[in-house]
Amino acid sequence: MKKKILIFGSEGQLGHDLAAVLAADYQVKAFSRVQADITDFNSVFKIITREKPEFVINAAAYNKVEAAETQSDLAFTINASAVGNMASAAANAGGVFVHVSSDYVFAGNKALFTEADEPNPLSAYGQSKLKGEKLIQSSQVNYYLIRTSSVFGIQAGKQKMNFVDTIIARAKEDKALKVVDDQIMSPTYSFDLAGKIKELIEKPAPFGIYHVSNQGSCSWYEFAQKILELMSINAPITPISTEESGTKVNRPKKSILKNLALEKEGFAPMPTWQDALSRYLKEKYK
């Protein structure tokens, strides 16, 4: 009998890839926001209690960083309260809870961050993600808490287009490209992230916090340059500072996640972000 996995947020980039990666070896039930609104706490609790899955994976999130400053109640409901509810429901059903958090829980004031570093978010979005982490840790559930960075994936996002597709679309429309060069992160392909989550639960790795991002780091400007290079698009692109971008949100200057826990547990390293981007572009743009 195949183990049962429930996935919430199946319409997003990661949820889509998780369902695809896990389908062959598990009994997967994937719920979109329409099928299971995670802010309907009673409904979600009932689903998990009824299904009694071995694993509950939450791939749903409020990830509009700018809008979270004025919609903080909604951000905290989705990224924190709903997460705590799912953790409690998973514990009640005897399952393991897998949740995906963000590099934005860190202030970005050092070269890189390991799982042992103390979070200190700068934005409402980051604060909501950290609150979700704390609710999981204070629950009775066995959990894999996975922090990742700057995700891009094949499935078109319902909340916003991912950075890769945005750059390509704007370049093809001959729109001026101005991209920040003073925020450094590790772009991560949702397919690679989904694959590593599958490895974690199958080993099974010890419960706890894991950083899972593609190897290497770059600025958003360098990322955009590589996208255009691999797509053979000759478009003008200008580096700008975060201040010049007009953002109203404090963002970490460096949010490079070191996958130290994976390394310690003997997992194979994640592919580089350049390799991940190349595969993504071949898959989506053929």
Active site residues: 125
CA–CA separation, 69 vs 98, rounded Å? 26
Q: Distance of CA 220 to CAs 153, 159, 228, 254, 264, Å?
A: 16, 20, 12, 11, 29
List the structure tokens of 53.
Answer: 């899955």
In this structure, what are the phi and psi dihedrals at residue 42, rounded to the nearest 5 degrees? -65, -40
- Provide the 10 A C-beta neighbour count for residue 31: 21
The β-bridge relationship of strands 55-58 and 237-240 is: unpaired
Going from the C-alpha of 269 to that of each of 55, 99, 263, 273, the distances in angstroms are: 24, 21, 7, 12
